[in-house]
């Protein structure tokens, strides 16, 4: 079983390319945001707990997200692996993921990182906010905060996975969606 992590800053194109990667390599795309919404909609114990926390304005704790990911690993069949999108975001989450996967007799197969410069992150998030009417992402201050949070909390994962020899980077800018997709698929194919 393969366990890939789709990585990169906000707006890098992870969501844009995840479906193509999952389809070509028979992987289950596991988006933590979609998992949360599905668990809440299904009224599972994890979903009920997540909804209570979110309704109170709190972040969903790591152990709830980890439980949801384990549920997917245990329940999804007929795939050659999983493509994690949005998890892990911190080194403690990566360490827990390593334990979850090791308990299955496996290890993380590779990190597929789509990298774009901060200026492009800012431009893409602002454009997406305008197109999708996402007021939460519309202000420069909010976008700058998201970029800073990525650098402070998520970017340290690069060195974590480089140390394990599992980090692989592809340039997500410049290039059309099709050009970047070709780069991403070629990278996964090489793993």
**Options 24, 104, 134, 162, the catalytic residue:** 134
Q: Is 124 a catalytic residue?
A: no
**Options 2, 123, 128, 183, the catalytic residue:** 128
Q: Is 166 a catalytic residue?
A: no
Mean pLDDT of the chain: 91
**Which CATH number does the domain 2-190 belong to among 1.10.10.10, 3.40.50.300, 3.40.50.720, 3.60.15.10?**
3.40.50.300
Does the pLDDT at position 181 exceed 90?
A: yes
Distance CA 34, CA 79 (A): 19
Q: Is 89 a catalytic residue?
A: yes
* Token pair of 136 as six digits: 């939460």
CB 91 within 8 A of CB 157: yes
Q: Can you give the pTM of this predicted structure?
A: 0.88
Say what the pLDDT of residue 38 is. 87
Say what the pLDDT of residue 129 is. 81
Q: Is 123 a catalytic residue?
A: no
CB 184 within 8 A of CB 114: yes
């Amino acid at each position: 079983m393969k366990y890939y992590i789709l990585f990169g800053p906000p707006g890098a194109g992870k969501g844009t390319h995840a479906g193509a990667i999952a389809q070509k390599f028979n992987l289950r795309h596991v988006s933590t945001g979609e998992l949360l919404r599905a668990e809440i909609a299904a009224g599972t114990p994890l979903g009920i707990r997540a909804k209570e926390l979110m309704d109170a304005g709190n972040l969903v704790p790591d152990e709830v997200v980890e439980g949801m990911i384990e549920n997917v690993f245990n329940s999804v069949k007929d795939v050659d692996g999983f493509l994690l999108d949005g998890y892990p975001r911190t080194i403690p989450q990566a360490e827990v993921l390593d334990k979850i996967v090791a308990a299955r007799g496996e290890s993380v197969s590779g990190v597929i990182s789509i990298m774009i410069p901060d200026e492009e992150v800012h431009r893409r998030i602002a454009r997406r906010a305008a197109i999708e009417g996402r007021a939460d992402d519309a202000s420069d201050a909010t976008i700058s905060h998201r970029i800073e949070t990525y650098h402070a909390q998520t970017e340290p994962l690069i060195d974590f996975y480089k140390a394990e020899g599992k980090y692989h980077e592809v340039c997500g800018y410049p290039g059309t969606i099709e050009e970047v997709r070709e780069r991403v698929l070629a990278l996964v194919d090489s793993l």
